[in-house]
Amino acid sequence: MANYKGEDPVLVTRDAKSKVHTFLNMCRHRGNRICRADAGNAPSFMCTYHGWTFATDGKLVGVPGYKEAYFEELDRSQWGLVEARTETYKGLIFANWDPKAPSLIDYLGDYTYWMDMTFDRVAGGTEARGGVWRFAAPANWKFGSDNFGGDNYHTYITHGAGRFLNRAAGGVDNGFNDDPSRVNVSTKHGHQANNAWIGSVVNTRLQTMRPLEMKQYYQDTYAESEKRLGAERAKQITIGPATTFPNMSWTNNMVRVWHPRGPMHTEVWHWCIVDKIMPEHLKKMTVTTLVQGFGPSGNTEQDDGNNFVACTEIGRSPLGARQVVNQPAGLGHEFKSENVPGILSPRIGEGNQRSFYARWQEMMNAPSWDRITIEPRRFSLL
């Protein structure tokens, strides 16, 4: 399937030995795309320009006119596809062009404690449903990443209409006085998650879950979830939104990648995810509900998008671009827990934003992976 890593078009394949590969989606002859399909099966990929053909393991296996035009002098073994190091975690595929980068498991580190709440809650894990949703906005990609990674603060104003409807339907909304045992989490390498419960976990998510058939599903799978994750995480039912640094965001029912298209544009690729063992009608319900909220014209998505666009646009203003913006909420109120990994901060705060941008700055200034510390530098006392 064709996808992107940042601005680089890539092609992800599974070869005849079931090994997953990630290649630059570029014909080694003159640079044409060799795959344009979102998904499918193919024994090989033939470039539509002159017909060079590549196997699913990236080898160049066909060159039209090899004898007549190249006099059999082209060393085909040197012209296979450019490959990234590819690793997987719980069904998610990650790739890195730099052979010196840490392994995926080191890069994710103890953040997997939180990721597993979505991707390993039940046997079989998750699957994507409803295809990939793509939409673009004239906004810098980091606004989406930082928002999903730790911005509960915005929900009271930006998503005020949704909160109003929730209250009108009898839902409880305590505003900023929300449960103080809910926190945001920031772990090594800048990964983040919102809304973890710590301490004496109150199982309110399950109690208030609607519709009732979805609640029933989570009740039915609770025992298994507790066996896999332990009571502390199982009782929370879900966590998120969250951002795996730098640009993969997720919740219990979505994964999205914020692909940069230059500094002023973002192309969002979004998948609905569901537990593989979830009954079919609940899978369909999850897709429908998600479209209404986070589809390209979903209510929540539109609420957010306009803010991201305007925050980016101010960068074109000569005076605006010279101003300093601020993220001090909760500064000095971060803390650690013996029971869970990461640095915890108030859920209505900007601790995760500080972590995200400190990490970004550190990576942008580092000449190589050797110069990047495991623990991100932090604007806090910790």
- Least distance from C-beta 70 to ligand FES, angstroms? 12
33 binds ligand FES (CB under 6 A): no
- Residue among 60 and 340 whose Cβ is closer to ligand FES: 60
33 binds, among ligand FES, Fe ion, none (CB under 5 to 8 A by kind): none
Binding range to ligand FES, per CB under 6 A, among 43-51, 178-186, 193-201, 315-323: 43-51
Tokens of 290: 């998600």
CB of 284 to Fe ion, least distance (A): 25
Q: Which of 1, 14, 32, 138 binds ligand FES (CB under 6 A)?
A: 32
Q: Which residue in 27, 185, 273, 343 binds ligand FES (CB under 6 A)?
A: 27
- Interface residues toward Fe ion, by CB under 5 A: 304
- Shortest spacing between CB 23 and ligand FES, in angstroms: 14
Using the contact rule CB under 6 A, the part of the chain among 29-37, 146-154, 188-196, 256-264 near ligand FES is 29-37
Nearer to ligand FES, 54 or 111 (CB): 54
- Residue with the two structure tokens 């101003």: 323
Q: What are the residues whose beta carbons fall under 8 Å from the beta carbon of 320, sequence distance 6 or more?
A: 314
Q: CA 1, CA 20: separation in Å to the nearest integer?
A: 11
What does 304 interact with, of ligand FES, Fe ion, none (CB < 5 to 8 A by kind)?
Fe ion
| Interface of this chain with ligand FES, residues 48 to 67, rule: CB under 6 A | 49-52
Shortest distance, CB of residue 31 to ligand FES, whole angstroms? Answer: 6
Shortest reach from residue 22's CB to ligand FES, in Å: 19
| Closer residue to Fe ion, CB minimum distance, 146 or 304 | 304
Q: Which of 7, 15, 20, 30 binds ligand FES (CB under 6 A)?
A: 30
How far apart, in whole angstroms, are the C-alpha atoms of residue 92 and residue 119?
9
**How many other CB atoms are there within 10 angstroms of residue 84's CB atom?**
19
Give the residues lining the site for ligand FES (CB under 6 A): 27, 29-30, 32, 47, 49-52
